[in-house]
Amino acid sequence: MTVDFRWKDGFPKIGIRPTIDGRRNGVRESLEDITMNLAKSVAKFLSDNLRYPNGEPVECVIADTCIGGVAEAAAAATKFRASNVGVSITVTSCWCYGTETMDMDPAIPKAVWGFNGTGRPGAVYLAAVLSGHAQKGLPAFGIYGKDVKDAGDDSIPEDVQEKLLRFTKAALAAANLRGKSYLAMGSVSMGIAGSSINEAFFQEYLGMRNEYIDMTEFTRRIEEGIYDHVEFDKALAWVKENCKEGVDNNSVQTQTSREQKDKDWETVVKMTIIARDLMIGNPRLAELGFGEEALGHNAITSGFQGQRQWTDHFPNGDFMESILNSSFDWNGIRSPFMVATENDSLNGISMLFGYLLTNTAQIFADVRTYWSPDSVKRVTDYELEGVAANGLLHLINSGSATLDGTGEQQQDGKPVMKPYWEISEAEAQSCLDATSWRPASLEYFRGGGYSSDFLTRGGMPMTMSRINLVKGIGPVLQIAEGYSVDLPDQVHETLDQRTDPTWPTTWFAPTITGKGAFKSVYDVMDNWGANHGAISYGHIGSDLITLASILRIPVNMHNVPDEQIFRPRAWGLFGTESLESGDYRACATFGPLYK
């Protein structure tokens, strides 16, 4: 079987709206071809450069005619609704009638590109229509090229390309959330606030549903055989061949028997299959007579409580979470799932943001320890250097991080994390080979199980993010760009042994700006809002900021250069000096996207 059926309902499309001066008898007629060619140029550019999570090029839908007034605007809206358009981009090279031609759908993220040319005043329309958007409480992104172009030039300047891509990636991410579910598998884990589901946040800010199952559903499906037994046999054989068991750190007196370890392997493999089936369904279950279970919960992300009601008695969920979060399993290379440890829904959503912006797997980790240069020197006699010279954050959790996070995928000889369609079989195997599966620490997990253990390769650009909820404000997003770091083997071993060495480690050096929460690495740690973080490959802070503005989520800390920040034009009306405070006021004023 494959899991491609999770995308069976397709993806939201990008609607391209060519707007035009509606005056006939020479004005409109002279602009028809120019305006429509701009729309076609944008559609081709986006389809050539962006992909959906299944690897296919994004689809664009162009209005049937140029839009010169309200009748044609309504016709375009009707076509877009029928075509599952979730993102709107208006393009023009001329003056148009602003409030008559604008996109009025309040739930669709929208941008306007006003062509910078002297022949016709596209920039005048851009300013007028963005004013209308602000006045009506429908904020839109304004795209205006720096350089004047000749009339009829349908090429897209580089600065316009950058903004088109940034907006569209973020807008598609927002559109892909709408109508999907977060599946809570269990309830609150050890008093972690993020696993206490806030339905208003999901519904009003993300347009998502919340679904719930008790962890006894795993027990029921295991005991009653509600899973594909053929797939289980295939999966268990794959695990025995590819998942090497590591050293058992438990005392000799408490170590479980070989027979029990083998039973644990069978259980965690079944848990993995069942969790996937719970999220997205499985047509095979209908063939086996389980029609209700075959449907799944339409979950684009999920979380597993585990601790402690499950893990005090049953094997832990680390293998299940790690494999689902990875871009490969016994069925081959495929798009990763997003599964949050300890049912931390807010970190699950942070992972989902990173995934939808990059199409790559995400690392779930505790933001465990700040290691200052002095502390590292004292403990190991090693001087931190390079990007780590100001200190490190030890990102480590109980073995649930994606195996893509090993950094064993390569591009130009450097470690990377790739979209699944770019990953080779050899790279997937290297990720598996770099990971050992350590019998779980019985101090934490009385029911046994296995935790992944690997060390992330250094030199990868990374972005750590986290959604937090604040009473009286709502959600806020924090972002820290930086790099993974290589340490000498002995230094890593010495530091790693001071915590649980059976878990995967990423040494992360955030980029320091000398301002605010980024005055030092210590300040980053001291200002981080929760115990978990979602780590994405690449420096995607600017894309996260754009997505947050679409969803009306203010950003409370980031180290993204100001020139890379792209928000709706109306944000500037809340102040152009203190962008952070203006962001808070704009989000509060416009309110949640779906409220």
Provide the pLDDT for residue 1: 38
Domains and CATH numbers, the chain: 13-177 (3.40.50.1070), 181-590 (3.20.14.10)
In whole angstroms, give the CA distance from residue 336 to residue 407. 16
Q: Which amino acid is located at 468 in the chain?
A: N
Which two tokens mark 265? 């392997």
The model scores a pTM over 0.85:
yes
For 51-84, write each residue's pLDDT tens digit: 999 999 999 999 999 999 999 999 999 999 999 9
Provide the pLDDT for residue 353: 98
Helix (H, G, I), strand (E, B) or coil at 393: strand
Contact 547, 471 (CB under 8 A): no
For 365-394, write each residue's pLDDT tens digit: 999 999 999 999 999 999 999 999 999 999
Provide the pLDDT for residue 253: 92
Establish whether 32 is an annotated binding residue: no
Which two tokens mark 234? 């295939």
Provide the pLDDT for residue 117: 64
For 424-464, write each residue's pLDDT tens digit: 999 999 999 999 999 999 999 999 999 999 999 999 999 99
Neighbouring residues of 198: CB distance < 8 A, sequence distance ≥ 6: 345, 469
Contact 407, 456 (CB under 8 A): yes
Provide the pLDDT for residue 119: 60
Neighbouring residues of 518: CB distance < 8 A, sequence distance ≥ 6: 480, 510, 511, 512, 524, 557, 559
Q: Active-site residue numbers?
A: 342, 366
Establish whether 523 is an annotated binding residue: no
In whole angstroms, give the CA distance from residue 353 to residue 350. 5
Establish whether 539 is an annotated binding residue: no
Residues in the chain, pLDDT under 50: 1-2
Contact 418, 426 (CB under 8 A): no
Using H for helix, E for strand and C for coil, what is the string for 16-44? EEEECCCCCCCHHHHHHHHHHHHHHHHHH
Listed residue (176, 198, 211, 180) closest to 550, CA to CA: 176
C-beta atoms surrounding 333 within 10 Å: 17
